Amino acid sequence: MNQLAFSLKENRLNDLLSFPGIDENLLTMKKNALFGSAASSVAIAGMTILGWVLNLPTIVNYGFFLLALSVPMILVILFKKKHIEWFIFGAQMINLLTTMYFMLRLGGLLHSAGLMFTGISVLYMTINLQNVRITLMLFITYLFTLIFTASMQSALVPAPELFAWKNLLFFTVNCSWQAGFTLLLILNNINQKKKLAEVKQAEAVRLTELDELKTKFFTNITHEFRTPLTVILGMADLMKEQPQKWLNDGALKIKSNADRLLHLVNQMLDLSKLEAGAMTLHLQQGDMMAYLHYIVESFSSLAAGKNIRLEFLGENSPVVMDFDPEKILQIISNLVVNAIKFTPPGGKVEVSACRVKGNSSQLEIKVSDTGPGISPEMLPHVFDRFFRVETTTGADAGGTGLGLALVREMAKLIGGSIDVQSRPGSGSTFMLVIPVTNKAAIVAMEHPNPSENDLIPVDHDTSGKTTGKRKTTANADLPVLLIVEDSSDVTEYLQELTGKYYQVITASNGREGLEKALSAVPDIILSDVMMPEMDGISMLDALKNDFRTSHIPVVMLTAKADIQSKLHGLERGADAYISKPFNRDELLLQLRNLLRLRSRLQQRYAGMGPLTPVEDKGTAIEDKFMLKVRNLLEMYLDDDRFGINELCSELGMSRAQLYRKFKSLTNKTVNEYIRSFRLHKARELLISSELNVSEVAYETGFKNLSHFSRVFTEEFGRNPSEISK
């Protein structure tokens, strides 16, 4: 209790004497000086009262003078920020010289009631100032006052008021309080030295602990690095020795293990970035509930694989607020993955989110599991860096103890806090509380949700007719993205992400996805793998083996574990795989890259040169399609009525499908392509045959000669008669 009262007082004193930026030494100096001044003022006051009682006016005056001197001293100690030692020095000089004056007045060293000892306590007080010059100057002054007063003795007359017993009494009192004061200063000094030693001891313990943690960390981290590296090296050897057998499996294994290493390194980098304050927030406004639901959904197959029930309980209505999606993703993923990792099969992991009761400006997100829980001794340390609970069974759950440290730092960065409650045997609950604000820009909240009609493309036919309705919004120029996903929350989130850059259509399972892909022929497809009715893999297979859709790039969203086995035996894989939960930028970049890659295809198919076979299996079906088109055009070369409708019925495709496919493969409309094809044939004939211009025009389906000349010149920059010469 006393200890507590003392530390409270000490805290208050610290507050009184501190100012922003004060260093520890100055604070100690101020404290000691205040303590010295207060103690000596009490003693001086006692001496003055005694002087008054014994009717000693000179002593009373001396006392008043010293008390008056201590007032500015105390004020300086309380309020001055710099050069306090020099103010104290000045005051002590005045003290010494005044004491000398009173010693002279009272009749010299031996007749002045022991005032000559004042200088000794003045010298003791300088210990606190830690300034050799000041101590020496005060010492010299003190010596001077002693020697000067002694040398003046013959000229002095002892004051009659201080006759023998009063002088002796005061002498004793003065000596005693000087000794007492000195004792206090010495005790204070000892006390401070002791405290300093304790601080040093604690620091030493902390450093040893840190050292132990680091050693432990290095052991863990080397283990973490060694396992994937062993697999990578082993696979590289196998691939070299038996390329036939290991080329595919080996590459996949190398990739997944390299990913693991990369994840580890990224975690370490993130942590050091966070600690250095170099990580920035990218806030945007959106519906937190939808986002959280999406993140939790992403782990459903991981949980299902372990036979764990994973549930999300959110508020009924959207909670639109500022958040940094990347940071929230990292925090929640870490917590959910840990929960799934530690929960035994048959258990349950629940993620809930709601506004804090009584404080709607805060949102609480809880991740609770039915795992083994964490013991009370370990609980305070789970957020420490490199900390891992040692398992009694010796089972290694993997991990480096970085995850939760990262979570805590991220939580701090977003202005929130994280806590954990757990009891061994009854699971753990991690609670994240974050502020709800609405300051950031609203991102893609009003994503387009176009109806199907809107999405049938415009065919810029030379005939001037359009094959579909033009979409009236400014988004009509954006590429069309088909999202195939059974969870409406994930769909909603994906729409929110991509709505700014794409015209989005959605389907809730593989069958519907296939139907919409055939009717709208999107520019790109983003699909989940696990879906009811028809899964993503079957849909992918169907899409890639159909002329009408084979050219469309498909991005599969997968849980890592799903993909390898399922893809086996498929003629053509997806164009890209993204594992859930994904990073928003990574997804957008992947989509954009695939669309860009299409321009390579366009170069291949827009020209009329021979289609030399390439290694890439992916283009085989498109080659087949284009060859079929060319053969048909060749067959009907002289038939001027053979146009887009005839081509459609020959190929078994609708106008819209054919238009979209051509646009995608050649960046030309169907009519442009047909005309270009005819013109190239015409040029070939002009060069290699004896036919004249009008015969050639007729042979290649141009019934109007002047029209032929004009379009020919447009295409090749020279008119046909020049070529035929």
- The contact set with ligand ADP (CB under 6 A) reads 338-339, 342, 369, 371-372, 374, 382, 387-389, 399-405, 428
Q: Closer to ligand ADP at the Cβ: 353 or 517?
A: 353
Three-class SS state of 162: coil
Q: Closer to ligand ADP at the Cβ: 387 or 712?
A: 387
Q: How far is the CB of 386 from ligand ADP (least distance, A)?
A: 8
> In angstroms, rounded to a whole number, what is the distance separating the alpha carbons of residues 324 and 281?
6
Nearest to 656 by CA among 525, 484, 518: 518
Q: How far is the CB of 411 from ligand ADP (least distance, A)?
A: 13
Q: Closer to ligand ADP at the Cβ: 299 or 547?
A: 299
Q: Closer to ligand ADP at the Cβ: 300 or 487?
A: 300
Q: How far is the CB of 403 from ligand ADP (least distance, A)?
A: 3
Three-class SS state of 688: helix
Q: How far is the CB of 487 from ligand ADP (least distance, A)?
A: 24
Q: How far is the CB of 263 from ligand ADP (least distance, A)?
A: 10
Q: Closer to ligand ADP at the Cβ: 382 or 482?
A: 382
In angstroms, what CA-CA distances link 55 with 50, 60, 253, 260?
Answer: 8, 8, 102, 91
Q: Closer to ligand ADP at the Cβ: 60 or 382?
A: 382
> In angstroms, rounded to a whole number, what is the distance separating the alpha carbons of residues 97 and 142?
8
DSSP, res 575: S
Q: How far is the CB of 364 from ligand ADP (least distance, A)?
A: 17
Q: How far is the CB of 299 from ligand ADP (least distance, A)?
A: 13
Q: Closer to ligand ADP at the Cβ: 348 or 566?
A: 348
> In angstroms, rounded to a whole number, what is the distance separating the alpha carbons of residues 709 and 696?
11
Contact 195, 235 (CB under 8 A): no
Q: Closer to ligand ADP at the Cβ: 400 or 487?
A: 400
| DSSP state letters, 39-101 | HHHHHHHHHHHHHHHTT-HHHHHHHHHHHHHHHHHHHHHHH--S-HHHHHHHHHHHHHHHHHH
Residue sitting closest to ligand ADP (CB):
399
> In angstroms, rounded to a whole number, what is the distance separating the alpha carbons of residues 577 and 500?
22
Instruction: At 104, list the tokens.
Output: 């002279």
Contact 167, 113 (CB under 8 A): yes
Contact 604, 619 (CB under 8 A): yes
Q: How far is the CB of 125 from ligand ADP (least distance, A)?
A: 53
Q: How far is the CB of 226 from ligand ADP (least distance, A)?
A: 16
Break the chain down into helix, strand, coil percent, rounded to 5: 60, 10, 30
> In angstroms, rounded to a whole number, what is the distance separating the alpha carbons of residues 319 and 471?
32
Q: How far is the CB of 253 from ligand ADP (least distance, A)?
A: 22
Q: Closer to ligand ADP at the Cβ: 369 or 528?
A: 369
Q: Closer to ligand ADP at the Cβ: 62 or 342?
A: 342
Q: How far is the CB of 211 from ligand ADP (least distance, A)?
A: 20
Q: Closer to ligand ADP at the Cβ: 429 or 527?
A: 429
CB within 8 Å of 348: residues ≥ 6 apart:
308, 309, 310, 311, 369, 370
What 537-544 contacts at long range (C-beta under 8 Å, 24+ apart), as own/partner pairs, is: 537/566, 537/567, 537/570, 538/510, 539/484, 539/510, 539/511, 539/513, 539/514, 540/570, 540/573, 540/574, 541/570, 541/571, 542/514, 543/514, 543/517, 544/570, 544/571, 544/572, 544/621
